[in-house]
Structure 1
Amino acid sequence: MITRGHTDARMSQIVTFQNFVFLAGQVGNPGDDIVKQTLDTLSKIDALLSEANSSREQILHAQIWLDDMRDFAAVNKVWEEWMPSGHAPARASGEVRVGRPGLKVEILVTAAQIQPSY
């Protein structure tokens, strides 16, 4: 069964299917510096994953879109501090025009749901 959460006419923030969690691209606040935007984005990802019975340890794949690749090192530093050791997902990064002026980073993740232990 497919379930959708935080859905509007354009998108769902969370879609789950067969123990997979797909998150829409998450962003911080336009105008904040790259570190603050990255921290805020990762905080949103944490909250959505938790709501979908998952966590950062369950992330399978991540895409990081940067408005400027010169921010790549700063984003990686925040990412590496946030990602638990031994749980790095498959990941891709690239430079794109992020959705709104002032946005510097957008992150999309796919994760597994945590299965209850009986």
Structure 2
Amino acid sequence: MSEITRLETGTRMSQAVIHNGTVYLAGQVGDPAADVAEQARGCLANVDRLLAEAGTDKTRILTAQVWLADMADFAAVNEVWDAWVPAGQAPARAAGESKLAAPEYRVEVLVIAALP
């Protein structure tokens, strides 16, 4: 049986789960008091931190989901995303509009990455 490792586990969820060479992150959000671009930067900083804790990095992201509270923020989030993703390393990605956990949140990012 393959081992399952959980990082930053709480009562409801873990921030990351590692299994069979794959890292699954919970949805990451930024500072809810910030504008959407700063929230996006906060999401991606959390992704970087969790991937490092798991032993990998953003060059190994396989897929990403970007959830926006309002698709009007799509261009602003893409600008932050495009500056963050290493050239030639863009993962498969989907983006959509969804009601998030609290009305102050404007963007949430989920990723799945491979371990080296």
Which interval holds the TM-score relative to the shorter structure? over 0.9
**Counterpart for residue 59 of structure 1:** 61
Could you list the structure 1 runs, at least 4 aligned residues long, displaced by more than 3 angstroms after superposition. none
Partners of 1:29 and 1:100 in 2: CA distance: 12
TM-score normalized with structure 1 length:
0.95
TM-score normalized with structure 2 length:
0.96
Match of 1:33 among 35, 50, 54: 35
Match of 1:101 among 84, 100, 103: 103
- CA shift for structure 1 position 29: 1.1
Partners of 1:82 and 1:98 in 2: CA distance: 23
* Percent identity between the two aligned chains: 51
Map 1:73-84 onto structure 2 (within 5 A): 73-84=75-86
Deviation readout 1:5-38 (Å, 9 max, x if unpaired) = 1111100001000110000000001121011000
Deviation readout 1:16-68 (Å, 9 max, x if unpaired) = 00110000000001121011000011001000000001100000000000000
Aligned residues: 114
What's the RMSD between the two structures over aligned residues? 0.6
**Counterpart for residue 72 of structure 1:** 74
Unaligned 5+ residue runs, structure 1?
A: none
Partners of 1:44 and 1:38 in 2: CA distance: 10
Match of 2:18 among 5, 8, 16: 16
SS at match of 2:33: coil
Map 1:78-93 onto structure 2 (within 5 A): 78-93=80-95
